């Protein structure tokens, strides 16, 4: 799958982020589908059964710590998804990345990217 591409006013192309899950029902549907745990986060994925673009959602519970820690973990997960999902995600799938206490915010960024690639390979088998 290719990333959505938009042109900015200067004429340069930049990758547009994947559509984001917003509705609780979408998160609950993903929770009932496939899961793959990694050292940095938990990935939940489901096939919606349509040809629409892949969508992604992020969640971090209060187990991760205060709001600062949760926001840092979500920022890291968003960046991992922005870099990794356009090349590895499949059309018609929803993905939810769930942060892990002490791991998501403190894990090396390259390892988080490798975790996403590993989890997607396992989920799509």
At residue 4, the pLDDT reads: 44
What are the sequence ranges of the domains in the chain?
Answer: 18-123
Q: What is the pTM of this model?
A: 0.85
The per-residue pLDDT for range 37-67, each reduced to its tens digit, is: 999 999 999 999 999 999 999 999 999 999 9
β-strands 41-47, 55-59 pairing: unpaired
Binning pLDDT at 50, 70 and 90, where does residue 1 land? very low
Can you spell out the DSSP letters for 33-67? SEEEE-SSEEEEEEE-SSSSPPEEEEE--GGG-SH
CATH architecture for the domain at 18-123: 2-Layer Sandwich (3.30)
């Amino acid at each position: 799958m290719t990333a959505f591409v938009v042109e900015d006013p200067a004429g340069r192309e930049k990758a547009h982020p994947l559509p984001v899950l917003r509705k609780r029902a979408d998160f609950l549907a993903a929770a009932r589908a496939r899961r793959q745990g990694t050292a940095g986060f938990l990935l939940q994925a489901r096939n919606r059964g349509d040809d629409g673009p892949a969508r992604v959602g992020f969640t971090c519970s209060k187990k991760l710590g205060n709001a600062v820690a949760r926001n840092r973990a979500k920022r890291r997960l968003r960046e991992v998804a922005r870099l990794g999902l356009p090349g590895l995600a499949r059309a018609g799938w929803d993905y939810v990345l769930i942060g892990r206490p002490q791991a998501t915010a403190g894990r090396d960024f390259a390892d988080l990217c490798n975790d996403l690639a590993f989890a997607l390979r396992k989920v799509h088998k």
